[in-house]
Amino acid sequence: MSATDSSNASITAILYAFSANLAIAIAKTGIALWTGSGSLLAEAIHSYADCSNQILLFIGLKRSAKEATRKHPMGYGRESYIWSMMVAVILFSIGGVFSVHEGWLRYNAPHAVENAGIALVVLLIAVVMEAFSLKGATDAMQSEKAGRSMWQWFRETHSSELMVIVGEDIAALIGLVIALITLGLTMLTGNVAYDAVGSILIGVLLIVVATLIGIEVHSLLIGETEDDIRAKVEQYLESQPSVVKVLNIWAINHGKAVMLTIKAEFKPEMTVLQAVNDINAMEKQIKATHTRIKWVFFELDNAD
């Protein structure tokens, strides 16, 4: 998947998610204020946090596409990781911690839940819209996923913004189910503690998801290798007649692009000109085969 295709897919997923979450947030807020539901208010806060998160992701994606400068010769590709980390912090604090706090307050100072039936209808509508948003995100990640499980893709993807959106949407769907169950129990039993517990559970869920996202984005920020590209380039180099041995390869993610460094031993009888020509031909073929590779640094060395 090329860097351009990956960016376009990410933008599409962000727009899907923003549109769905804004509509859901407005509906949840109105009904939460009307009914006094703590879990629904927690869900509304979550949806507003998601809206702001998608704006931040979009800004990060656009800024990461800025042209390289003399001061930043490799461009701004990793800037998308920084903005994704900001989203993880917001999801943790505003989405998670605040929801737990709100639920705890309501548990200790119960508030009556009114018109809960309307709230359940809104939650059901929100489930449909979140599913729509999640489908947009999963469709965007399909070509990148390439047969891997969802968890494996989450651990290995370089698209931090897609990772965040998928994580948010999954958390939102689970959170809505929690809100439906706890609000339903409140309606059946008349005990508003269930609703307060729902808010706490939703907050804990968001904290867990934000932590997982933060761990993965942190790994990308400090320089994560692209193992699949690395293995394929090594296989290609070993098949070349001029290469005696591949000594080391790094394939480091840099936003949508990849920086490749190679250290290899060539046949000793080759002249410098022959080695340079072979290296240039290899670099050209590598970039043509792996469109995400933007920089190739090739060093000749020996096994010693």
What whole-number percentage of the chain has pLDDT above 70?
A: 92
User: Given this model, what pLDDT does residue 115 score?
Assistant: 66
Mean per-residue pLDDT over the chain, rounded = 84
User: Given this model, what pLDDT does residue 223 score?
Assistant: 85
User: Given this model, what pLDDT does residue 299 score?
Assistant: 92
Domains 3-221 and 227-300 share a fold: no
Q: Which of 1-15, 76-90, 191-205, 253-267 has the lowest average pLDDT?
A: 1-15
Nearest-angstrom CA–CA distance, 36 and 119: 10
Q: Is 77 helix (H, G, I), strand (E, B) or coil?
A: coil
Answer with the residue of higher pLDDT: 111 or 83: 83
Nearest-angstrom CA–CA distance, 205 and 132: 21
Examine the pLDDT at 64 and tell me if it is beyond 80. yes
Q: Which CATH superfamily is domain 3-221 in?
A: Cation efflux protein transmembrane domain (1.20.1510.10)
Q: Exposed, middle or buried: residue 113 (CB in 10 Å: 0-12, 13-18, 19+)? A: buried
Q: Which CATH number applies to 227-300?
A: 3.30.70.1350
User: Given this model, what pLDDT does residue 5 score?
Assistant: 55
- Annotated domain spans of the chain: 3-221, 227-300
User: Given this model, what pLDDT does residue 92 score?
Assistant: 75
Indicate the pLDDT class of residue 113, thresholds 50, 70 and 90. Answer: low
Mean pLDDT value across residues 66-89: 87
Mean pLDDT value across residues 191-213: 88
Closest by CA position to 183, among listed 17, 45, 28 = 28
User: Given this model, what pLDDT does residue 215 score?
Assistant: 92
Answer with the residue of higher pLDDT: 233 or 198: 233
Examine the pLDDT at 38 and tell me if it is beyond 70. no
Answer with the residue of higher pLDDT: 41 or 125: 125
Mean pLDDT value across residues 275-298: 94
- DSSP for 209-273, please give it: HHHHHHHHHHHHHTT-B-HHHHHHHHHHHHTSTTEEEEEEEEEEEETTEEEEEEEEEEPTT--HH
- DSSP for 23-58, please give it: HHHHHHHHHHHHH--HHHHHHHHHHHHHHHHHHHHH
User: Given this model, what pLDDT does residue 4 score?
Assistant: 56
Examine the pLDDT at 2 and tell me if it is beyond 60. no
Mean pLDDT value across residues 215-231: 90
User: Given this model, what pLDDT does residue 7 score?
Assistant: 66
User: Given this model, what pLDDT does residue 163 score?
Assistant: 87
Mean pLDDT value across residues 219-226: 88
User: Given this model, what pLDDT does residue 31 score?
Assistant: 77
Indicate the pLDDT class of residue 127, thresholds 50, 70 and 90. Answer: confident
User: Given this model, what pLDDT does residue 148 score?
Assistant: 82
- Summarize pLDDT for 225-275 with one digit per residue, the tens: 888 899 999 999 999 999 999 999 999 999 889 999 999 999 989 999 999
Indicate the pLDDT class of residue 186, thresholds 50, 70 and 90. Answer: confident
**What's the predicted TM-score (pTM) here?**
0.79
Examine the pLDDT at 46 and tell me if it is beyond 80. no
